[in-house]
Amino acid sequence: MLVAINKNSRERVKAIEHKTGHALRSKFSCGDLICPFCDGIVFARDRPGFVLHFVHSHPCTSNIDRHPESPEHEQGKLKIAEFLNQQIKDDPSQCAKVEVEYRLSECGEHGRVADVALVYDNGNLLICECQLSKITSNELEKRTLDYYSIGADVVWFLGKDADTPENRNWLRSMFGSVGRLDFVYTSS
């Protein structure tokens, strides 16, 4: 989880805005940061190969539809957010902000968490989903329809096991294009 909630102010706390887990632990007292989905206590974790993120002290009790994320998925979300932030910066007429792990309580049966959302001042939403694990085109369609049900537009970025000919064809037929995420591994 890349975003936690400050229990006292209810503001979103983005892990990426801090250099280390130590910096977060120095800024917030134990118990100050909570899960945006279940309100359970979370804490900062930085591990080699992972971006700085938050983890639960106890399992999450939320019934919102979401899945465990790989380090690549977290990196993908950050790259998409970085790209969108650059687009907004380059066009000052854009009245929007980029939110990572954006909770949509009214979306789907139990709510959804958008990987990245471009939230316009007028209430419109552009959802950017990063999908790396295996998924069928039927599942892509269900998630897309969930977002459509709240009036959001959707852009999918596929990589790894999700980047199949069937999924690419479905996305092209639905949207005319599909985004792709590739990862390059190097040794330091």
Is 146 in contact with 129 (CB distance < 8 Å)?
no
What span, in angstroms and rounded, lies between the C-alpha atoms of 85 and 99? 10
Q: What is the pLDDT of residues 145-163, one digit of tens each?
A: 999 999 999 999 999 999 9
Q: Which carries the bigger pLDDT value, residue 161 or residue 184? A: 161
Q: What is the pTM of this model?
A: 0.74
Partners of 116 in the beta sheet? 100, 128
Phi, psi of 136 (to 5 degrees): -95, 165
